[in-house]
Amino acid sequence: EKAAFDKALSENKVNLAALNKAVAALEKGMAGSFLQSRAAGSLQKYVASSRELSEGDRQTVLSFLSGKQGEMYAPQSGEITGLLKELGDEMLADQKDMIATEDAAVQAYEGLMAAKKKQGAALSESIENKLNRVAELGVHIAQMKNDLGDTVESHGEDKNFLADLGKNCDSKAAVHEEE
């Protein structure tokens, strides 16, 4: 989008500059020298494709720019100068609108990127917290397995002790009965 905006803005600036040169030349009575310039060709292409002029006005300006009435143009009448000034005002307004629209798009993009960065940071923090919990649970599980092993071993020893105790009790009971 930025490239398209830059291209459109550049074209608008070139066309507006050509139009301003045309108006200045007409106001100074130098229409003939302007019509031989590169700016006149650029302006002619723009006017031919412009939708901002009525068909009659477009034909009048194109006729002037093609040189059909260039030498006979009387700057006092101001018809073409007026049309070009009007077109220039519209082009300048379009340029301001383009810039405002692009500025709004840039702000929206920057806001979106800030929100996404904030969201990414929050998600990263959440992932880190969950990884820490997984690690802590892994340690806890390992400890519980150790405790289970110790308990099983202790249980086995307790069974042996109980069995020995039972034997000892039986032998002592037998000794007491004999006495």
Q: Averaged over 122-141, what is the pLDDT?
A: 97
Q: What percent of the chain has pLDDT over 70?
A: 92
Query: Exposed (0-12), middle (13-18) or buried (19+): which is 47, by Cβ within 10 Å?
Result: buried
Q: Indicate the pLDDT class of residue 57, thresholds 50, 70 and 90.
A: confident
Give the residue-averaged pLDDT of 70-80.
Answer: 56
What does the pLDDT read at residue 70? 46
Other residues' Cβ atoms within 10 Å of the Cβ of residue 152: 10
Residue 76 has pLDDT above 50, yes or no: no
SS3 per-residue string spanning 5-59? HHHHHHHHHHHHHHHHHHHHHHHCCCHHHHHCCHHHHHHHHHHHHCCCCCHHHHH
Rounded distance between C-alpha atoms, residue 67 and residue 43, angstroms: 13
